[in-house]
A and B are shown apart, each in its own frame.
Chain A
Amino acid sequence: MLALVDGNNFYVSCERAFRPALKNRPVVVLSNNDGCAIARSNEAKALGIRMGAPWFECRQLAEEHDVVALSANFVLYGDMSDRMMSVAAGLGPGQEIYSIDESFIDMTGVSGDLTDRARRVRERVLQWTGIPTGIGIAGTKTLAKLANHVAKSADRKPGSYPAELALVCNLARLPAADLDAVLQATAVGEVWGVGRRIADQLKEGGVLTVLDLVRMDPATVRRRWSVVLERTVRELQGQQCISVEDQPAPKKEIAFTRSFGGAVTELADLVAAVTRFASGAAIKLRVQGSKAGQLQVFAHTSAFRPGPKYSRSLIIPLRRPTADTVELVSAAVRGIEAIYRPGFNFAKAGVMLLDLQDGGIEQGELDLEPEPEARSHLMGTLDKLNDRYGRGTISLASAGMKGPKRNFEMTQNLLTPQYTTCWADLPVARA
């Protein structure tokens, strides 16, 4: 049996844990540069603020209804996620952390009443961390996702599903007729792995509800759609096709990209920005113990703002696979210097590390060029210093100095304090 534990409106719940005055008020959390709504409280959802809605479009509605908008505080969300995950892990012997607010729990071998156990774990996550969650239990990942959707909808929209399925929903325990009713009450578009395009195609073919989809013949689905949708149908029918991954596979590529806070026109600013991106990506690379064979760097103007448009990306093969910040940054800087054209307002840039390989493997060379001085010790020291004294304590000089805000830095005008990770930001209790 599998469970999916998912934090309700996770970013909003993290904010509310430290600002109780936000409870029962409409709250939205905005993406980097305060662009789009990436999390909404139930009250904000009820006002019709869509996921991903650009903030300038909602501003008037927000003012009328006194909506609180906050800049995404990923330092806080990351710490709260870690706490939530470690308590949720008590549900069973295996855990796959699927995203910042979701984890699959393998409940194989857990004895006793699973629904009851899930209710107790849900209560514990709420009491220990302040984060409300929904838990879905079923035989496959796709069904557990669906069960989670039912658990949350039954809570948020009374009447959408039977009330006893709210908060914790165990589909495996439902009598067949009740399960069919739940599947019939759910649109195909809600199924994990069914995107909007496929959902539209299914609807055209008369497949409207999850029950319609479950009753399809997998072979037909494969013929008319794809192997991927076939796998989804099999999973919905209870046949496990996607396993729980305890150990996440090392990433095949690492990206570090940002939209700029303001328009960037100078090469020096772009160089500073890609230096920071490449340095950040290099840390991620070393954390997973890999080396990169190639580096991609890109920069482009905004698709929305007026002015001349320009977009360019370059792949730079590295001399030998490396995890060395200095080598990665110099490749990124060479790339951005080649890309740069004056007269454009750059809105976004990024660095991608590609062709990743195990850091332990070294390719011997029939080359007379001397090996570069081993810098892995230096890189280890760099990571330790930045870990202990804060990101950016030691960086390459081309990253630019700390100090007055640069154009390429993010706008986070509505940022809340880092309550759980910064001593200066402790929440206050009145005595």
Chain B
Amino acid sequence: MPLPWVQGTVPAGFPSPAADFAVKRHDLNELLITHPAATFMWQARGLSMIDLGVADGDVLVVNRALTPKHGDIVVAEVNGDFTVKQLYKRGGVIKLVSGNSTFPPMLFRDGQTMTICGVVTATIKRFR
């Protein structure tokens, strides 16, 4: 008796029990970047922020979309250079504070300009 020929593939073995739970793997962009168009990276150079967790060589994730507030770590433009400091903004006084007692805070006199480029929302530190 001729048997009908069925074309197709038959999967062998057991279906993965996790198949119904497939989700996306951890994506660092999701964790570190909320505003892609406004997020830029800088590299920190120097030791003045060591007590606030910013070490020499760390990559800084800087979000320009956030409004800087007192206590934020910021990247700022001072005298044509970029610097990373902590923003002090209390009682009409604005200054940039270091996270290392051997570095004095940066104060600004009339006519001096300091522009905040963005708020440091994370640092990327690699150990090897």
Chain A residues near B (Cβ < 8 Å): 20-21, 23, 82-83, 86-87, 127-130, 419-420, 426-431
Contacts and interface: CB of A to CB of B under 8 A. Distances in A.
Contacts of B41: 420, 426
Contact of B64 (A21, A130, A429): A130
B81 A128 contact: no
B37 A20 contact: no
A82 B115 CA distance: 24
Given A127-B38, A128-B37, 15 more contacts: A20-B77, A20-B82, A20-B115, A82-B37, A87-B38, A128-B38, A129-B38, A419-B40, A427-B43, A428-B43, A428-B82, A429-B75, A431-B47, A431-B49, A431-B50
User: Which bracket fits the contact residues of B?
Assistant: 20 to 34
Interface stretch (B13-21, B24-32, B52-60): B52-60
B42 A127 contact: no
B119 to A, nearest CB: 11
Nearest to A90: B37
Nearest to B100: A431
B44 interface: yes
B40 A420 contact: yes
5 contacts: A20-B82, A82-B37, A129-B37, A429-B82, A431-B46
A429 B80 contact: no
B42 A426 contact: yes
Contacts of B44: 428-429, 431
A82 B85 CA distance: 29
B35 interface: yes
B42 A23 contact: no
The CB with the most chain B CB atoms within 10 A, among A127, A130, A427, A430, is that of A430
A362 B46 CA distance: 61
Contacts of A419: 40
Interface string B90-114: 0000000000000000000000000
A426 B43 contact: yes
Given A83-B38, A127-B64, A128-B35, A430 B83 contact: yes
A277 B40 CA distance: 32
B37 A429 contact: no
A426 B84 CA distance: 14
Nearest to A87: B37
A179 to B, nearest CB: 34
The 9 A-B pairs at the shortest CB distance, nearest first, are namely A21-B80, A128-B38, A431-B46, A429-B84, A426-B43, A429-B82, A431-B49, A429-B42, A83-B37
Contacts, number: 72
B45 interface: yes
A150 to B, nearest CB: 27
B63 to A, nearest CB: 9
Contacts of B49: 431
Contacts of A130: 64, 117
Contacts of A429: 42-45, 60, 75, 82-84
B124 to A, nearest CB: 10
A430 B84 contact: yes
Contact of A129 (B48, B64, B77): B64
B81 A21 contact: yes
A127 B37 CA distance: 11
Contacts of A428: 42-45, 82
B54 to A, nearest CB: 6
Contact of A431 (B38, B48, B64, B77): B48
Contact of B81 (A20, A83, A420, A426): A20
B42 A427 contact: yes
B69 to A, nearest CB: 15
A194 to B, nearest CB: 34
A420 B61 CA distance: 12
B59 to A, nearest CB: 7
Given A127-B65, A128-B65, A130-B64, A430 B38 contact: no
Nearest to B38: A128
Nearest to B56: A431
A286 B59 CA distance: 35
Q: Give the most central of B37, B40, B65, B80: most A CB within 10 Å.
A: B37
Contacts of A426: 41-43, 59
Contacts of A83: 37-38
Nearest to B58: A431
B111 to A, nearest CB: 14
B38 A427 contact: no
A86 B38 CA distance: 10
Contacts of A128: 35, 37-38, 64-65
A322 B49 CA distance: 57
Nearest to A126: B64
B45 A431 contact: yes
